Structure 1
């Protein structure tokens, strides 16, 4: 049998796939050739298959070093699921008793075990190390390898010493894998593992299906979160907070508001943590509110949103946490609440750490500030941080962030870029961003004075523009590669060859104004994220998801293991009523159709008959429209001039939700008379002023109206006025 056939045969046999994804094949071949290999692949990119497949194909046992017990358990269960032999994969850690340890050793001795998952701490144990020395080890894979780097976000001393431990066991190839590594971290990992000869495979970090949004964090942040979660009812989400106390608070607030949420943090006992994690996987709860202790070992493909109540300490953390959304390729909304106060809090936490660590921490935090405050394409900013270029016009997912949906003004900044570049040059390229800005705005400090920079003629050359402006400009020219940050003296800014060319021959540079979050505005930025396509029958989706949950329970598997969200959406688009039709639905196939499909086909057949749905060959889909009962109730009671508060209360709605329903009614062409409610809020002149604004405005966007009236009217007043306006003018 040829090697080629062998490899694809094994892929089909063990994992049921006909082809590899992305860089997987190259990585697998590198490992099969016994070469040191380093893999940087974003969360959800199929990292684990890269070492699992070669381990199953090679002689002997592969050791997988992994930082988390939950993660090991998940992976071992998954591998056991594809084999008749329970002993094919084992965990060796502190959770095992003596007889379990003996069983593991026996299975390794007899050559049954292909994958042995260990924590770095276990490898140091003399009894384990001396036992493994005697065995046939195929290779060592180090998962979450960024833990090796002190620049990573999870520093563990045992990880720094892995190279020596591995050498003592056997001289075998080493495979490092991580989901997040900047150039600095990458260098550090390779150096520490002594594998500078490794084949390096770096996949694209772009997740085009994720929508990135940053909103100002206000006193109303809890309300904003509830509102967001209620708009995504029936979908799974994770909310990250920095403190355990905040996790408990938010989980409670959500529960009180009728949202099925559970807390997760290291302060809960192990049993509760496992229970809450399982509830989330099995869809017995919709939302997990967690510290970053959660999610490392979670492999739930259909998380639809990740909310950061507090900004993370580094862009690595942010990328990893947001990366838990939309792993199945479906929608994933990443919403972060930001205020500079949070950054100051994090800086205070750092005050007791060693100076070197503080410096690193501050540098990482400044990157986070840059990301939150930037008004350029967020995806471009994030990918640049991971050393990847991104085309913000034609790149995949180019319009999937708040800055691209609501672009800010740009202005010509060629002269200012020249000032910046020449100050960097004339101070001998030895300062970090903060010092460069202080030089330009003329703010003295000990470091600048010691180099006599304060005596130079360019000191204070741009003081009329302020530090915020110059910091923003530095970030924008960094991303287009006119300057770069030194890796060895981290953060020191150097000119690039492009920057030097720009100084010789300046060209236009359009700078976008940064967001300023000094004063929190009310935070009600309207998100205009793409919905997951027109035509999907939402009512049927809800029924199919309920059925999926029941089937999952019966079979003892998480609902997404029955059918993933994209498959459910496709069913609600195509209305398959036979198993054969079902097998043609996205992501189903014959096996799954036969295994789980009977109940689904039955439900869809009944639904199609009861709702009189036409199923022509080209599948024209009926949309279910607005919830007609609620619609009727609102129309009747506004006709009776019932106060809007009372209408909202009687239906258990927040005011904002009622307004949304009323908007849907008038946008669908129905008249709604709410003059009485508007008259209570606004006098005749005010109404006329807003009415005239909407007549003239290019868009009926509320944010634009808020900006136009500079705080004269609040969100609700403008929305109600817009409903009155639409009802009178458009309907």
Structure 2
């Protein structure tokens, strides 16, 4: 069992400093904490890395009784408990991975009042005798994390969350704080209804993650693009690479290893023991790249992930936002790269159309997909487009690819009409390659055999190279004017009449992005390793020394390095070079427990320089 903590002050700011080592709350946190401490219910929408856990952990330590945290993943619970114990907070997780004796120890600690926080899955909470046991002890609050899982309108529906309304019925006087990083207005309304939170106060923090640089590239040679991205900007750093298929995961992980990059694959087809081992390695090792399907990620609390790369488009804007949000949780600079192409557009549209979901959900998913495609093809600041999707406005950020290297646009109405006409004249029965051959006047055997060299559109697009026409096909597919039939060898068809006819008649214009040179990576400002860009060579050397000391301490305790101190705390140690315990205590991330545990060790390491 965790060691007992010394009594905590009742003032929330004092708890924040003495336990968590932070001088003040981030914007929005303090108001939420005060509301929950006062006994109010809350629906909290805060981005990944925005500090959601503080919103229930501080009230848990201020209010009398046990705080029960409902979380969907064992890995996330274990990580949270490890971090809290490092801070001297008595916390435990009741999970299926515990041995029977360990589970009995947790249950005994609940009865004895020895815990401040208990983490538990929704299944474990609502089944068996745990609720009866909780009814016998004082309760501080219930926190329901990843609350979007309760909604079928969300992106990660989990039916076991539908049993959680019983908390309101059995414990009406215990405040509930419900938290999620991604939920649009429809999903938020559903969360309220499903969890009986009609009277809860809603807190919506900004979705902006200003430390993340967003990049989108047309997929040309995905392996080469990924390799260039990692070696140029993120060599030796931790990152996550998402692929759509298990086979692709294995291929990309092997490619990276051949290129000298420490990489592992992760997908649902692996044995549970192997997945657990790889998850453990990613969390505990520095500089490891995990190549994974979306089976990996939820529950990752590793703060020093410096990049997230998508080699295939995610299904929704919400999924993209949540997955990219796993980068830079420590608020240091990080980067998100997405590669996408025509096949991604076609695959995702087919997934929506072929699903068994009701028509209203299909229509919603189609709108979500169109929003994400618009983000990929935008010439505007990407951060502006992303934030607008979630109902926010902002100035151009100056830190995404379209800001760093502005995208040129042009009137593409004539070219769009030519392409749509060619698809129609060819009977809507051919793929992009054949249509482009017709437009550029290429007399292939297939073109002449079909008699398409006699069409009025044959050669009408000679003024543009074939590669540019391929890009126009992709952009019109993204705009919903062209449909790519993946199940029929990529045949191009015209979209609905109400979309296409106005363009063919000249009643609606089409604006196209100009493709960057080479169709792929566009050079922006000079790039450096994000984490260390503000450190001198001497400071970077000291930073690496402190990382080594941190790894040594973490290994001895069997915890991830960031549980000892995050990179952000180490960087502040390097910059400020504290010479005594008082100065060390003023470093962000150093609370009372960590001061006692580590101050002398790190002060010695700093004094040796």
TM class by smaller structure:
0.7 to 0.9
Larger Rg: 1
- Structure 1 range deviating more: 238-247 or 208-217: 238-247
Tell me, yes or no, if structure 1 residue 381 matches structure 2 residue 382.
Answer: no
SS class of match (2:69): strand
CA contact under 8 A between 1:374 and 1:515: conserved in structure 2? Answer: no
SS class of match (1:224): helix
Tell me, yes or no, if structure 1 residue 354 matches structure 2 residue 354.
Answer: no
Shift of 1:75: 1.2
Shift of 1:144: 0.6
CA contact under 8 A between 2:21 and 2:589: conserved in structure 1? Answer: no
SS class of match (1:35): coil
Tell me, yes or no, if structure 1 residue 60 matches structure 2 residue 65.
Answer: yes
TM-score relative to the length of structure 2 = 0.75
Of 521, 524, 528, which aligns to 1:524? 521
4+ long deviations beyond 6 Å: 570-574, 577-582
Partner of 1:107 in structure 2?
Answer: 109
Tell me, yes or no, if structure 1 residue 234 matches structure 2 residue 236.
Answer: yes
Q: Which runs of 5+ in 1 are unaligned?
A: 393-397, 414-432, 449-453, 473-512, 606-731
Indicate how the Cα distance of structure 1 residues 71 and 255 shifts in structure 2: closer, same or farther if over 3 A, else same. same
CA contact under 8 A between 2:405 and 2:524: conserved in structure 1? Answer: no
Shift of 1:47: 0.7
Shift of 1:404: 1.1
Quick one: distance in 2 between partners of 1:598 and 1:217?
50
Shift of 1:561: 5.1
CA contact under 8 A between 2:313 and 2:344: conserved in structure 1? Answer: yes
SS class of match (2:55): helix
Shift of 1:51: 0.8
Quick one: distance in 2 between partners of 1:32 and 1:69?
27
- Structure 1 range deviating more: 531-540 or 128-137: 531-540
Shift of 1:312: 0.8
Partner of 1:492 in structure 2?
Answer: none
Indicate how the Cα distance of structure 1 residues 345 and 34 shifts in structure 2: closer, same or farther if over 3 A, else same. same
Shift of 1:566: 4.8
CA contact under 8 A between 1:579 and 1:598: conserved in structure 2? Answer: no
Of 104, 116, 120, which aligns to 2:122? 120
SS class of match (2:217): strand
Indicate how the Cα distance of structure 1 residues 282 and 600 shifts in structure 2: closer, same or farther if over 3 A, else same. farther
- Matching of residues 173-252 of structure 1 within 5 Å: 173-218=175-220, 220-231=221-232, 232-252=234-254
TM-score relative to the length of structure 1 = 0.63
CA contact under 8 A between 1:43 and 1:320: conserved in structure 2? Answer: yes
Cα deviation 1:99-133 (Å, max 9, x = unaligned)? 33333222222222222222112233142333333
Tell me, yes or no, if structure 1 residue 371 matches structure 2 residue 379.
Answer: no
Indicate how the Cα distance of structure 1 residues 579 and 34 shifts in structure 2: closer, same or farther if over 3 A, else same. closer
- Matching of residues 436-447 of structure 1 within 5 Å: none
Partner of 1:688 in structure 2?
Answer: none
Tell me, yes or no, if structure 1 residue 148 matches structure 2 residue 154.
Answer: no
Quick one: distance in 2 between partners of 1:560 and 1:134?
36
Shift of 1:184: 1.7
SS class of match (1:30): helix
- Matching of residues 233-272 of structure 1 within 5 Å: 233-272=235-274
Partner of 2:30 in structure 1?
Answer: 25
Partner of 1:71 in structure 2?
Answer: 76
Indicate how the Cα distance of structure 1 residues 243 and 254 shifts in structure 2: closer, same or farther if over 3 A, else same. same
- Matching of residues 619-698 of structure 1 within 5 Å: none
SS class of match (2:165): helix
CA contact under 8 A between 2:241 and 2:290: conserved in structure 1? Answer: yes
Quick one: distance in 1 between partners of 2:318 and 2:300?
18
SS class of match (1:303): coil
Cα deviation 1:307-340 (Å, max 9, x = unaligned)? 1111111111111111111222221111110113
Quick one: distance in 1 between partners of 2:175 and 2:606?
48
Structure with larger RCO (C-alpha < 8 A, sep 6+): 2
Partner of 1:172 in structure 2?
Answer: 174
CA contact under 8 A between 2:312 and 2:339: conserved in structure 1? Answer: yes
Tell me, yes or no, if structure 1 residue 598 matches structure 2 residue 600.
Answer: no
- Structure 1 range deviating more: 537-546 or 75-84: 537-546
Indicate how the Cα distance of structure 1 residues 411 and 7 shifts in structure 2: closer, same or farther if over 3 A, else same. same
Shift of 1:600: 4.3
- Matching of residues 438-457 of structure 1 within 5 Å: none
- Structure 1 range deviating more: 559-568 or 580-589: 580-589
Quick one: distance in 2 between partners of 1:334 and 1:77?
28
SS class of match (2:93): strand
Indicate how the Cα distance of structure 1 residues 568 and 168 shifts in structure 2: closer, same or farther if over 3 A, else same. closer
CA contact under 8 A between 2:23 and 2:588: conserved in structure 1? Answer: no
CA contact under 8 A between 2:480 and 2:495: conserved in structure 1? Answer: no
Shift of 1:208: 1.2
CA contact under 8 A between 2:379 and 2:408: conserved in structure 1? Answer: no
Indicate how the Cα distance of structure 1 residues 359 and 60 shifts in structure 2: closer, same or farther if over 3 A, else same. same
Partner of 1:51 in structure 2?
Answer: 56
Partner of 1:463 in structure 2?
Answer: 504
CA contact under 8 A between 1:63 and 1:118: conserved in structure 2? Answer: yes
Partner of 2:408 in structure 1?
Answer: 409
Of 312, 315, 324, which aligns to 1:313? 315
Cα deviation 1:3-25 (Å, max 9, x = unaligned)? 99633333333323332222111
Quick one: distance in 2 between partners of 1:559 and 1:40?
28
Quick one: distance in 2 between partners of 1:229 and 1:405?
19
- Matching of residues 502-513 of structure 1 within 5 Å: 513=512
Partner of 1:11 in structure 2?
Answer: 16
CA contact under 8 A between 1:571 and 1:585: conserved in structure 2? Answer: no
Shift of 1:253: 0.7
Cα deviation 1:214-257 (Å, max 9, x = unaligned)? 00112x21011112212221222111112222111111110111
Quick one: distance in 1 between partners of 2:533 and 2:130?
57
Cα deviation 1:250-288 (Å, max 9, x = unaligned)? 111101111111112222233333332332233355211
